[in-house]
Amino acid sequence: MKTYLIKTQKIFLLLFAFGFVAAQQSSRLPKDALFYMEINGKQLNKKINWEKVNPFFKELSKDDDKKTASWNDFSKTGIKYDATQYHYASANDSIYAYTTYFTLDNNQKFTEFISSVKKKGQEVTRKSNYEYVDIDDNIFVAWNDKKAVLKMMNYSKPYDYDVYADSTRTVIDSASTAAVDSVYVGDDEVEADKPFDYKEEIQNLKDEISYIKQNIKDNNAEILKLQKDIKYLEKHKKYPEEAVKEAIRDTTYREGSEEEVPPPPPVGPRRSGEDENEDEEMDDYDYEAEAVADSLYMKEMDSLNIEKFKMVKKFAEADFDKYFSSNLELEVAKDVLSFRDGNSDVFIYTDYGKIFGLESYKSLYRDFDIEQLMGKMYNSNSSYNLYFDDDKVRLINNYQHKDNNINNSFAAVYKGKKNKKLTALINDKSIGYYALNLNGYKYFDLIYTLFENTGDGKYQKEIQLMMETVKIVLDEEAISKIAPGNGIFVLNELKSKKVEYTDFEYDDDYNEKEIKKTKDVTVPDFTFAFATENEKYWSRIFDLLVSNKDTKEKFIKEGDFYRFKEGENQGPVDQLYFTVKDGIVYLTTAKENINPKTQSEISKKWMKDSEKYAVSGRFDLQKLLIGLDQEFKDSSEIKLLNLMKKNAGEFNYKSEVKGNSIQTEIDYNIKTSSENSLMYFFDLVDEIYKISESEKKDHAL
């Protein structure tokens, strides 16, 4: 865990403080940006207690051998922590990049900090107006006297998803054929289609032959390696311990520096009778050839890694050149910032249309001819404002579809009627609830709008005809009366129950013996209920379950209730009860759960919220963890559980239509003595880390 935290810490410290300044043309947020984030450093820096944070980061950065921290004071890294931070992620089918800009208040201190983070001996590349270094294979940092940029990049060769999907398809998405992101080429620059060149095609075929030949050599080398492993295991009964090798880095690589290694001798097919004399054949095993094969394989992998690193480094450097030649300002479109609140600690924007428009996602549903439907469904964006208040964390999300008709259809679904009979099920002792007040009738309009004009090519007319037929056949009003859109799920409590289970033991001769045992399991006590305007429909369904020959053994009628019970009930739920009463359909674990509960002032407030909002809920994490006590047996798990129970808070959720978006607010109320909700999470991580480290020491002893 410490190794992971150390690497995460290094990236986090560099991501933590990002900002801007002035001069020539501004840098633009790339058109293919999937994600954009601003961090309000001015507010967040006031909420961080560096007296707590610094010792924790120092502990994480300690060298395992020398036990010394890589940096003494992480509150002084040359980064201006109270400046605004800017992040964005961009992607196409070859380049995935995460970029962060931050402001410096001490260039010399920052240079020293980078030297402590990068690998020993790693060279810093100096350009005319900035310098940069790679601190990992795909992580680069560039800086001048005022600004710094962090880039995490991955490159993969573009793959033509259409070649194997449908041989009749000839048009390929420009995003899958372009090897360079719009960030690295001009925004409006598109590579022209080349005429067919038979000479180039001949060369491609020759390259393919060479590739197949190399595969044969690789397979032969792998056979030799496996044969060696068999022989070694026969002699030593285990694999040899492997020394850890440090990966070759670009800064230590020089063209032509590798020693040419001859290929391994070919491995021909076995001769007749060779299987019977395998041991004798293995005595003549050529270990030198195997070593050569290993060397070839390592050289090939190193070469591939080096070439990929060079490609990523080239793109990163091009971005650095572009940024440090600008006025160091980031120009962001107004629609991206339309829901940004200047008082929030963090603002995030995500474009789902671009995310699900990537070829890697399209390939999942291309064969089903629903590409346009999925594209239309996900053509939306979400904005998030995050607040670290003293007593809670608040996250406010604004969801908006880019198609006005679909956006209006979503809004109409979220304008349902109230139902006080459902909210009466909420009580003080419950662990949590989730309530819906939606318009079931308008749900059909949303479905029709999504399917409208989504037929791909030759199926467009068929789709339109199908939708018209569905509208004629379906009685939308009658269907919506079965379940108008009001529902609630209430988790009342978690109970304990003893169950029997079968275990197996084995004697010295490995004879199996069946043993019956008992154990305690956690059983949820809950109620799920929803409104209906057609009670007879649900009563007929429940009567059918009782009378049908395939289901009547499990369904029994008990007065106004229908009980479902299966087998010996050794699972977490003993039985379920169904009933319809006063326009409400109930499914519950106990009959008394359907009775209205006595409500205090706090539960009355929850009831009002569940009536007011289209979607609402609450969840007491502390009560849930207390109910899960018996599920944790290991001492380290129990320590973590006790820590979480002590610090666990409560979630509150509400969603409604606001303006031209659907706004959802999630609050997490904290229950500790931390200075604020930001330090609450830090204190929790710090305690978890201490527990994990103490467990390591106990195991070592």
Distance CA 456, CA 454 (A): 6
- 3-state secondary structure at position 558: strand
User: Can you tell me the distance from the alpha carbon of 424 to that of 598, in angstroms, rounded to the nearest whole number?
Assistant: 9
- In single-letter form, the type of residue at position 636 comes to S
> What pLDDT was estimated at residue 668?
94
How is residue 116 written in tokens?
């402590």
Residues 133 and 140: beta-carbon distance below 8 Å: yes
CA atoms of 286 and 111, how far apart (whole Å): 52
Residues written for the chain: 701
Classify residue 401 by its DSSP letter: E
Predicted local confidence at residue 366, as pLDDT: 65
pLDDT at 365: 66
The one-letter amino acid at 638: I
Q: What is the pLDDT of residue 101?
A: 94
Question: What pLDDT is attached to residue 500?
Answer: 82
Integer Cα distance of 167 and 186 in angstroms: 32
**Which of 433, 417, 426, 394 has the alpha carbon at shortest distance from 601?**
426
Between CA 208 and CA 280 the distance in angstroms is 38
Q: What is the dihedral of CA 228, 231, 235, 241, to 10 degrees?
A: 20
Domain layout of the chain by residue ranges:
2-155+306-346, 200-304, 404-655
- The C-alpha atoms of residue 464 and residue 84 are separated, in whole angstroms, by 50
pLDDT score recorded for residue 565: 86
Q: Residue 456's pLDDT is what? A: 53
In this predicted structure, what is the pLDDT of residue 248?
35
All residue ranges of the chain with pLDDT < 70 are 1-25, 63-70, 158-195, 200, 203-204, 206-218, 241-304, 365-369, 453-460, 463, 567-572, 697-701
Structure tokens, 386:
């995050």
Assess contact for 500 and 570: CB atoms under 8 A. Answer: yes
**How are beta strands 330-331 and 27-28 bridged, if at all?**
parallel
Those residues whose C-beta lies under 8 Å from the C-beta of residue 631, and which sit 6 or more positions away, are: 522
Please tell me what DSSP assigns to residue 311: H
DSSP state of 617: E
Helix 50-60 to helix 2-15 angle (10° resolution) is 130
Measured distance CA(506)–CA(511) in Å, rounded: 5
Q: Does the pTM exceed 0.95?
A: no
The predicted-structure confidence for 306-340, as pLDDT tens digits, reads as follows: 777 888 888 999 999 999 999 888 889 999 999 99
Predicted pLDDT at 215: 60
User: Reduced to 3 states, what is the DSSP secondary structure of residue 99?
Assistant: strand
Alpha-carbon distances, residue 214 vs 203, 209, 256, 292, 697 (angstroms): 16, 9, 20, 15, 49
Which residue is it, tokens 């996250």?
A: 395
